[in-house]
Amino acid sequence: MRLAGILGWGYHVPDHVLTNHDLAQMVDTSDDWIIARTGIRERRIAATTEATSDLATRAAEMALAQAQIAPSDIDLIIVATVTPDMAFPSTACLVQSNIGAFNAAAFDLSAACSGFIYGLKLAQSLVATGAIDNCLLIGAETLSRIVDFMDRSTCVLFGDGAGAVVIGPSQQHTLQTIIVGADGSGGHILRQPAGGSRNPATQETVALRQHFIHMDGQEVFKFAVSKVPEAAEGLLAKIGLQVEDIDWFIPHQANKRIIDAVIKRLGLSPQQTIVNLHKYGNVSNASIPIALAEAAAAGVFQSGERILLAGFGGGLTWGTGLLQW
């Protein structure tokens, strides 16, 4: 089996900034409430002319340039997203055409906010076995298209953006153990009720605002603060490492209070935890790759350091993995 590693990374966020003060003009909320309950100060919103594939393409181009890999050398493109441009063709196929990666197979991955970690697991396995050489893995979202800007309990949380990595055979920035899981019995906690085969779009589903994100925030909170530490502890136990062996932690950027509770339980420090949600909010599948790419570009990680990744989201799903830089 070959080692699989991250050869390049990139991210892209839209220019338009929506601040908490802007949101306070739209719904009954305040900057103080949003910061205290979530840690979020602002988020990026895609232009009306931009869709998920556009953000994904920009992030992908940056990752390919950084990896110095030609689009024609990509064997597989995976786009992890809950906001594809459309049900089909896949957003990954749109990206493939945009960047000219015509030797690549392409598909979208649906595992809600854990999708990027699921994608890492898949890419690692395919590269390690020699089934493919280079995989372009992208987490990309335009969540502003499925956020109800009349619902103050959800509209303050989410934003738009994309992060990408190129994964291939490498002795550097290697993907170590990755564990993913799901509990479908909790699917009702976080969902977009209409627009699929269960509730196709009708005037009624639109009138009932069922094409937006519906979430039981407190249940998601409880799930995250128990499952993420449990999964991370399980990963460390499996590979015989202690929490002291971890240099950096990149959690899914959903809520600062969730992150604080998770690191407290794991015994990690705020100084070793990468947090950017104050700038971008929760970008679902894009949150971990943006945080990774932003920190890597800033030179935060030193060679050999261990980086723990942890995602959770709708499904319910979760995933945790270890990178060695």
| Residue from 2, 3, 17, 29 in contact with ligand ACO (CB under 6 A) | 29
Least Cα distance to 59 among 325, 288, 274 occurs for 288
Shortest gap between Cβ of 33 and ligand ACO (angstroms)? Answer: 4
Angle between helices 52-67 and 91-99 in degrees, nearest 10: 50
Tell me the sheet residues that pair with 168.
5
Find the distance separating the first CA and the last CA of the chain, reported in whole Å: 19
Would you count residue 218 as binding ligand ACO (CB under 6 A)?
yes
Rg of the Cα atoms in the chain: 19
Instruction: Say if residues 56 and 140 touch (Cβ distance below 8 Å).
Output: yes
| Residue from 66, 273, 282, 320 in contact with ligand ACO (CB under 6 A) | 282
Which of 12, 252, 276, 285 is catalytic? The answer is 252
Which letter does DSSP use for residue 133 in this model? S
Which letter does DSSP use for residue 302 in this model? P
Active site residue 255: no
| Residue from 51, 67, 94, 190 in contact with ligand ACO (CB under 6 A) | 190
Active site residue 20: no
Active site residue 155: no
Q: How many angstroms separate the CA atoms of 229 and 126, rounded?
A: 28
Least Cα distance to 246 among 266, 222, 227 occurs for 266
* Number of C-beta neighbours around residue 132 at 10 A: 19
Would you count residue 315 as binding ligand ACO (CB under 6 A)?
no
Rule CB under 6 A: which of 219-258 touch ligand ACO? 220-221, 254-255, 258
Q: Which one of the spans 31-39, 88-96, 115-123, 292-300 is the region binding ligand ACO (CB under 6 A)?
A: 31-39
Residue 88-127 contact track with ligand ACO, rule CB under 6 A, x = bound: ------------------------xx--------------
Residue 147-186 contact track with ligand ACO, rule CB under 6 A, x = bound: -----xx--xx-----------------------------
Q: How many angstroms separate the CA atoms of 59 and 75, rounded?
A: 18
Query: In Å, how far from its chain's centre is CA 226?
Result: 19
Shortest gap between Cβ of 111 and ligand ACO (angstroms)? Answer: 11
Which of 20, 93, 113, 173 is catalytic? The answer is 113
Distance of CA 309 to CAs 15, 22, 165, 188, 315, Å?
Answer: 27, 32, 14, 25, 19
Which of 20, 134, 255, 282 is catalytic? The answer is 282
Would you count residue 284 as binding ligand ACO (CB under 6 A)?
yes
Would you count residue 83 as binding ligand ACO (CB under 6 A)?
no
| Residue from 2, 3, 31, 33 in contact with ligand ACO (CB under 6 A) | 33
Q: Collapse the DSSP code of 2 into the 3-class scheme (helix H, G, I; strand E, B; otherwise coil) and give the result.
A: coil
Kindly state the tokens that stand for 248.
Answer: 């950096």
Instruction: Give the interface size with ligand ACO as a residue count (CB under 6 A).
Output: 24
Closer residue to ligand ACO, CB minimum distance, 96 or 317: 317
Q: How many angstroms separate the CA atoms of 261 and 250, rounded?
A: 14
Active site residues: 113, 252, 282
Residues in contact with ligand ACO by the rule CB under 6 A: 29, 33-34, 37-38, 112-113, 152-153, 156-157, 190, 215, 217-218, 220-221, 254-255, 258, 282, 284, 313-314
